[in-house]
Amino acid sequence: MCGIVGYLGKRNTMRVLLSGLTSLEYRGYDSAGVSFIKDGKINVIKRKGKVEELKKAVAEEGYTLEEDKGNSIKAGIGHTRWATHGAPSDENSHPHLSMNGKICVVHNGIIENYVELRRFLSKKGYVFVSETDTEVAAQLIEYYYSRRGDNDLRAAVRAASQDIIGSYALCVICDDMPDVIVCAKKDNPVVIGLGEDENFVASDVLAVMEYTKDVVYLEDNSIVTITRDGIEVCDFFGEKVDYKVEKIKWDADTAQKGGYKHFMMKEMYEEPKVFEATVAPRIKNNDIIFDGIDLGDMTDINKINVIACGTAYHAGCIGKFLIEKMCRIPVVCTVASEFCYSDPIIDEKTLTIVISQSGETLDTRQAMREAKSLGSRTLAIVNVIGSTIAREADSVIYTAAGPEISVASTKAYVTQLGVMYLLAMKFAHILGKIDDDEYKRLQGELLEIPSKLKTILDKQIEIQRFASSKFNAESIFFIGRGLDYYLSMEASLKLKEISYIHSESYPGGELKHGTIALIEEGTLVVSPITQQELCAKMESNIKEVSTRGASVLVIIPEKFRDIGFSCESKFIIPDCDELMTPILGVLPCQLFAYYMAVNKGCDVDKPRNLAKSVTVE
């Protein structure tokens, strides 16, 4: 997802912009740029490639990042672009200037009617130099600005916002007002950082948390005018609106690697701590409490929908299994991008659970809106406080994973599972499906998970060793049954997205119905086998593939240690309640994916083509 940074104030503006863009690199991008007003003129420096390339270009233009050199630059905005309209190139990079150089814009999101707007502006004599929708926004704002002739930049941005169809976070500067930044927000996050004699704007709190903990999460359909002395927020009709100042709860070093080689490894090591931080505070006096949510109000629910994408979807699949098994309520788990086009069967007795780490994934946001329009109540499980999905859902349960920088989700997934277990247990107890003793026992089991995750981390050398001999594999199969199949789905995605090795997850019993034709000498198969009632069947499935030459790694609980699986390697995880094995079983799979990617020399934290949060459909 693209990243935005803006600054007005006492510091070295260039330094603030570039360090802000660096903190947003984790989101995935392919070009970067800055724009700033100096001596009454808008300057733009932008490059295809990494922020490092941009830093070199800035230095070549003679700009220092030294703080003590004062600040000759007035308003400044910066951007990291994840290409949608127009290939990655210097010309298509943001920021974008209007033709006359008076207006400059950075933009997250998509302008769906940019072709019509471009045609309209071309007829008015505007000439375009890029293929982007963002340049259309810059020209359109200038069109209204020059037509008004009253130097009211906010009014020009507001007028342009009325014409634009799509999703956007726009930051705009104008050479006539070097001490102002105007931002418009619709369906893409904008956070304002409030300081003393300085103010910040960004698409993600990570870009401002080094300087301030006081932030304003801009509401949709808002326009904010920022100066170094303060901010003013209005709606799209020009009416002033109140805003709420919130405190960032994360600390700046959380967003640093802390001595680990990759954020992904750091975040796997954080899993015990963040799982506990997500689960333990919600278990009080042998009961599960969700602040601000009374599941008792939901006993009329007769169906549950789960919608999410990617890893969050896999957490939803585990949640489906748990709720159906414990609560005996039907659950449909759908990838968000399919949901809106599946003609879903939903009414006011449906609860829709929306899972999203970032809280900004556009597919998921659209699906939640569709579910709401059909009368469903919505409950979001989100990691980023104040994000769009968190604010638009009827109720929200925050995971406490902290900032997840690595594009591949690890700790956030584990905390999403934690919340799904809490929900299933709470619901089952309310519905009378489990008695007080079972309810209490399960709570105790959940509270033991963090120490068991630590045990797995302490023996990760076994995974590292196995991966060191397998990283040249061209295709890997993950097979499992029941919960282990859903776990296999996540294991397969993790491997694919960071090692670029093709992989498939398959129900163990399904392989023989076709795909086993792909198994040959040396094919690598990884199989979590944790469910007692399915163990014998999985033993057969492992035999089926190993007799055809496959090399098999099984991931099994301690209690299965002495079973003679026909496999090359075993990784033992601590015993726990069988329903909770996916929380433990996923960690060796994450470690396996990590070491395979490291052995292949891949960019573990910033895999090719991927973004941390996908805000395009």
Nearer to ligand AGP, 182 or 589 (CB): 589
Residues 285, 73: Cα–Cα separation, whole Å: 57
CB within 8 A of 59, min separation 6: which ones? Answer: none
Residue from 8, 312, 332, 401 in contact with ligand AGP (CB under 6 A):
312
Please tell me whether residue 407 binds ligand AGP under the rule CB under 6 A.
yes
Residue from 161, 378, 546, 613 in contact with ligand AGP (CB under 6 A):
613
Q: Contact region for ligand AGP (CB under 6 A) — 92-100, 304-312, 454-462, 530-538?
A: 304-312
283 φ, ψ to 5°? -110, 110
> Considering only residues 497-516, where is the footprint of ligand AGP by CB under 6 A?
497
Name the residue with tokens 């105790």: 444
Instruction: Kindly name the residue from 102, 186, 411, 612 that is annotated as catalytic.
Output: 612
Dihedral sign computed on CA atoms, order 464, 469, 471, 476: negative
Nearer to ligand AGP, 203 or 443 (CB): 203
From the CB of 498, what's the least distance to ligand AGP, in Å? 8
Please tell me whether residue 172 binds ligand AGP under the rule CB under 6 A.
no
Q: How many residues sit in the footprint of ligand AGP (CB under 6 A)?
A: 15
Residues 326, 320: Cα–Cα separation, whole Å: 10
Residues 451, 573: Cα–Cα separation, whole Å: 12
From the CB of 314, what's the least distance to ligand AGP, in Å? 8
Please tell me whether residue 409 binds ligand AGP under the rule CB under 6 A.
yes
Name the residue with tokens 């890997």: 476
Nearer to ligand AGP, 32 or 408 (CB): 408
Please tell me whether residue 167 binds ligand AGP under the rule CB under 6 A.
no
Nearer to ligand AGP, 8 or 405 (CB): 405
Residues 183, 96: Cα–Cα separation, whole Å: 15
Instruction: Kindly name the residue from 2, 317, 327, 567 that is annotated as catalytic.
Output: 2
Q: Among 350, 268, 363, 347, which residue's Cα sits nearest to residue 584?
A: 268
Nearer to ligand AGP, 192 or 390 (CB): 390
Please tell me whether residue 310 binds ligand AGP under the rule CB under 6 A.
yes
Inter-residue contact 588 to 478 (CB < 8 Å): no
Residues 248, 235: Cα–Cα separation, whole Å: 25
Nearer to ligand AGP, 380 or 534 (CB): 380
Assess whether 2 carries a catalytic annotation.
Answer: yes
Q: Contact region for ligand AGP (CB under 6 A) — 125-133, 256-264, 306-314, 427-435?
A: 306-314
What is the x/- site pattern for ligand AGP, positions 352-371, by CB under 6 A?
Answer: ----xxx--x--x-------
CB within 8 A of 504, min separation 6: which ones? Answer: 475, 476, 477, 478, 492, 515
**185 SS3 class:** strand
Nearer to ligand AGP, 1 or 434 (CB): 1
List residues bridging with 240 in a β-sheet: 234
> Considering only residues 429-448, where is the footprint of ligand AGP by CB under 6 A?
none
Q: Among 427, 462, 487, 482, which residue's Cα sits nearest to residue 553?
A: 462
From the CB of 268, what's the least distance to ligand AGP, in Å? 12
Cα 305–chain centre separation: 21
From the CB of 190, what's the least distance to ligand AGP, in Å? 17
Assess whether 183 carries a catalytic annotation.
Answer: no
> Considering only residues 23-62, where is the footprint of ligand AGP by CB under 6 A?
none
CB within 8 A of 351, min separation 6: which ones? Answer: 298, 301, 303, 304, 305, 376, 377, 378, 379
Nearer to ligand AGP, 97 or 491 (CB): 491
From the CB of 614, what's the least distance to ligand AGP, in Å? 5
Structure tokens at 86: 């127009």
Residues 346, 332: Cα–Cα separation, whole Å: 11
Q: Contact region for ligand AGP (CB under 6 A) — 44-52, 94-102, 170-178, 351-359?
A: 351-359
Residues 444, 402: Cα–Cα separation, whole Å: 24
From the CB of 368, what's the least distance to ligand AGP, in Å? 11
Inter-residue contact 567 to 544 (CB < 8 Å): no
- Nearest residue to ligand AGP by CB is 310
CB within 8 A of 610, min separation 6: which ones? Answer: 28, 407, 497
Give catalytic residues, as residue numbers: 2, 612
Which residues make up the interface to ligand AGP (CB under 6 A)? 309-312, 356-358, 361, 364, 407-409, 497, 613-614
